[in-house]
A and B are shown apart, each in its own frame.
Chain A
């Protein structure tokens, strides 16, 4: 069973499209400390693929990408570097 991680911060970017989805997620990560976990709620399918990829490119760790209902995804990111 996958262990549930309690996020340090949650944001909703529902209704946003690229690139603002990633802009919002990136700014949220910037404001956190290394080791903290961000949970992102979104409803733009393309961003459910592009945010994890971009976060990894920027050196952050993707913990979870999960479709939670017909329209929404949850992504968890752990900040690995400033």
Chain B
């Protein structure tokens, strides 16, 4: 294990001493490639902690720019990055935290035309998106490419986390087969959110990713974890795999990616 530099031994000492990590686990982390959808409330803490852990490559996609209203919860941005692309802002923050990590920022919207190429060379995908078309797009693409997906969602005082291992457990469509009609579920913009909620949920997502890379512990497979901050409760709900799921079932009806924005609007 002498292939670690002295600086790396210092940087990662607190996790190398864990029996579940050690030098072997740290090597796995340093060789892992993680794709993060969204550089917002969830993408910021997920990327921050994964950068600290020494993940080899983090690719993060977002086509948005930093606004003052983001700073309450999107902890990798600052007043200095107002107006900048979010991916540029987080890349700078993460590189300052840990120059070991190869951070790749993609200032694009993720679509059915680019997602397959973008995620195929990564080990794990993290969904930190804020809308249903993207959530379903990312789910379907991960099922088709058999990529583990750690999905998070937040609203008001509540957050959800689930880990999808295609072929082994449920997928997002086993849980909610179709997108809700626009307007039924309010967005953060409409309903509001406490800034620390994505901090909790993003941290949980980062830990799920680290456990998947290490191959240690139990991940949220076939399980939805619901955090209610007002009641201060964490609830685990069993989500069985749906044998008739349109994307991961035995006779799937969705075999190629759809026009998710059109599907969402058509549902209105």
Contact = CB atoms under 8 A, between A and B. Distances in A.
| Co-complex (A, B) | yes
B22 interface: yes
Interface residues of A, number: 14
Contacts of A58: 19
Nearest to A28: B1
Contact of B17 (A26, A28, A31, A59): A26
A53 to B, nearest CB: 12
A1 interface: no
B13 interface: yes
Interface in B47-74: none
A59 B20 CA distance: 13
Contacts of A59: 19
A54 B19 CA distance: 10
Contact of B23 (A19, A27, A54, A57): A27
Interface string B3-25: 01000011001101101001110
Contacts of A63: none
Interface string A27-49: 11011000000000000000000
Contacts of A28: 1
Interface of A is mostly: helix
Contact of B10 (A20, A22, A31): A20
Contacts of B2: 27
Interface residues of B, number: 13
A28 B14 CA distance: 17
A19 B14 contact: yes
Given A20-B9, A20-B10, A27 B16 contact: yes
A19 B17 contact: yes
Interface string A45-82: 00000000010011100000000000000000000000
A22 B19 CA distance: 12
Nearest to B9: A23
Given A19-B17, A31-B1, A26 B22 contact: yes
Nearest to A22: B17
A78 B65 CA distance: 56
Contacts of B17: 19, 22-23, 26, 54
Contact of A20 (B13, B19, B22, B24): B13
A27 B1 contact: yes
Closest 10 CB pairs of A and B: A27-B1, A27-B23, A23-B13, A19-B13, A30-B23, A58-B19, A23-B16, A23-B9, A30-B22, A22-B17
12 contacts: A19-B17, A20-B9, A20-B13, A23-B13, A23-B16, A23-B17, A27-B4, A27-B16, A30-B1, A30-B22, A31-B23, A57-B19
